[in-house]
Amino acid sequence: MSGIFLDTGDINEIRKYHAMGIIRGVTTNPSILVKQGVQGGMTGVKKHEIEIARLIDPLPLSVEVTTNDYEEMRRQAKEFAGWAKNINVKLTIHGPNGETDNLKLIHEMETRENVRINVTAMMSAQQCFLAAMAGATYVSIFGGRVSNMGYDARYEIRRLRQLLDAFGLKAKIIVGSTREVVNIVEWFEAGAHIVTSTPSLIEGMIVHPYTKETVQQFIRDGAQFGKL
């Protein structure tokens, strides 16, 4: 499934853009859920994520683990994947101090546990390439954060797409951390399969001041015919 994934935990916004048929999935992470005000511990998270998963079924929903403790990550990954058949699990490429065991878990989940993994928090084509080699279904590169470091994210996306195609890897490229409306189309052009977007950036894609003015003119002129 390629296209825009909505990067939010806001059920009303998801319902709105899903009904328009313009999104192809939803991504969440712990920061998004906190910002959304999700309460009630893991029970609250479960309820919220299941509600989103049902709302967009069969489109995919990414749910991120909340820890980097290996056994706990493993337990959460299996549990989250069991909440709904369209849930995939986000695991970061490595731990907070560069711990590299995460790739082993990614490989195990994809090859032995039938859990689809979205490897996240990546900043380079080389990280994404290794995650794809480990068997990830999705590889998420954070375009906005890459650009904030002074590199052009489009360059990394192009290199990554070439690598995935050359090696026949199944992983789909998700470019997230989207900062500007213009990023969405330019990252697709660079080779992204999926770009994540906040609701406000999608609105920015739809609404154009000159379109507003044009529609106002049509309505004004149409009013001259009176009521039909």
Q: Which residues of the shown chain bind ligand E4P in the complex (CB under 6 A)?
A: 7, 27, 29, 120, 140, 142, 144-145, 176-177, 196
Closest to ligand E4P by CB, 123 vs 221, is 123
CB of residue 194 to ligand E4P, shortest distance in Å: 9
CB of residue 228 to ligand E4P, shortest distance in Å: 46
Looking at the DSSP bridge assignments, the partners of residue 196 are: 5
CB of residue 190 to ligand E4P, shortest distance in Å: 16
- What is the number of the residue whose Cβ is closest to ligand E4P? 176
Closest to ligand E4P by CB, 76 vs 140, is 140
Closest to ligand E4P by CB, 29 vs 102, is 29
* Residue 138 Cα distances to 29, 88, 149, 176, 201, angstroms: 15, 9, 23, 12, 22
Closest to ligand E4P by CB, 109 vs 175, is 175
| Calpha distance 8→225 (Å, rounded) | 44
DSSP conformation letters of 129-179 = HHHHHTT-SEEEEEHHHHHHTTS-HHHHHHHHHHHHHHTT--PEEEEE---
CB of residue 32 to ligand E4P, shortest distance in Å: 6
Catalytic residue among 47, 85, 90, 227, which?
Answer: 90
Closest to ligand E4P by CB, 144 vs 204, is 144
CB of residue 48 to ligand E4P, shortest distance in Å: 15
End-to-end distance of the chain based on CA atoms, in angstroms?
43
DSSP character at residue 21? T
Q: Which residues contact 156 (CB under 8 A, 6 or more apart)?
A: 123, 124, 125, 141, 146
Amino acid at 165: D
35 is catalytic: no
3-state secondary structure of 117: strand
CA dihedral sign of residues 12, 82, 176, 91: positive
Which active-site residues does the annotation give? 90
